[in-house]
Structure 1
Amino acid sequence: MKSVNRFTIHGNVGSVAPFDKSTRVNIATNRNWRDEQGHVKEATDWVQVTVLEEKQAAWVAENAKPGDVVLVEGRISNNSFKRNGETVYTTDLIASTFNVFPKP
């Protein structure tokens, strides 16, 4: 059976943090639901995406600005590292496609 490890995020750039060979982007996504009384509620989820491919990371750092609409696809990666003798587990969203739609 074929397996799939893919995410898709459509939202607005909050911040861009370039590093030596990667870039991290915080993206705001909105979700809506109705409460028990039928009132529409909305919340913003902030999602951090990492761009690892060096040329793409540089392009994102140069072109993605706060407020821009983005459509990002990629894979989910689970990792761990030691901090003060304890194992810390992370779940990372690694971008493979990063489309920026600048504000007009």
Structure 2
Amino acid sequence: MKNIAEFIIIGRIGKVEVLNTATRLSIASNYRRRSENGSYADDTHWNTVVVFAESTRCYIGEHVARGDLVMARGRLRQSSWDKDGETRYGVDLICLDFARLAPRQLENGEVSG
């Protein structure tokens, strides 16, 4: 049996950062939470996803913009690095599947791109 650690994020693009061998995406996902007065509000979480596949990176560069609704699926990878003599730990979200679900909707109701 294969052991897996995966993620799926459906959210809106905040930032696209193109690096030498990877593209880093900032994707916002919203969760509803109930406030103390009983009303509901969105609780936004920003997720940083890393894309290595060249074909996916090209697609993102040509078709994806800030505010677009996207789906990213992939695997989790633990990482560690040293900073100021102290070992730090993190979890990388490595994107394996990516899709643009809808363009950003402008304030006047029109869609971009």
Query: TM-score scaled by structure 2?
Result: 0.81
- Counterpart in the other structure of 2:3: 3
Distance 1:54 1:86 in 2: 34
- Counterpart in the other structure of 1:91: 91
Name the SS for the 1:4 alignment partner. coil
The Cα shift of 1:34 comes to 2.1
Ranked by relative contact order (alpha carbons within 8 Å, sequence separation 6 or more), the top structure is: 1
Report whether the alignment pairs 1:65 with 2:65: yes
Report whether the alignment pairs 1:82 with 2:97: no
Distance 2:7 2:67 in 1: 21
RMSD: 1.7
Percent identity, aligned pairs only?
34
- Counterpart in the other structure of 2:17: 17
Could you list the runs of 4 or more consecutive aligned residues of structure 1 that deviate by over 6 angstroms after TM superposition? none
Query: TM-score scaled by structure 1?
Result: 0.87
Distance 2:17 2:97 in 1: 17
Structure 1 unaligned regions, length at least 5: none
Residue 15 of structure 1 aligns with an amino acid whose one-letter code is K
Name the SS for the 2:59 alignment partner. helix
Query: 1:68–1:102: 8 Å Cα contact kept in structure 2?
Result: yes
Distance 1:101 1:65 in 2: 12
The Cα shift of 1:85 comes to 1.9
Residue 25 of structure 2 aligns with an amino acid whose one-letter code is V
The Cα shift of 1:57 comes to 2.2
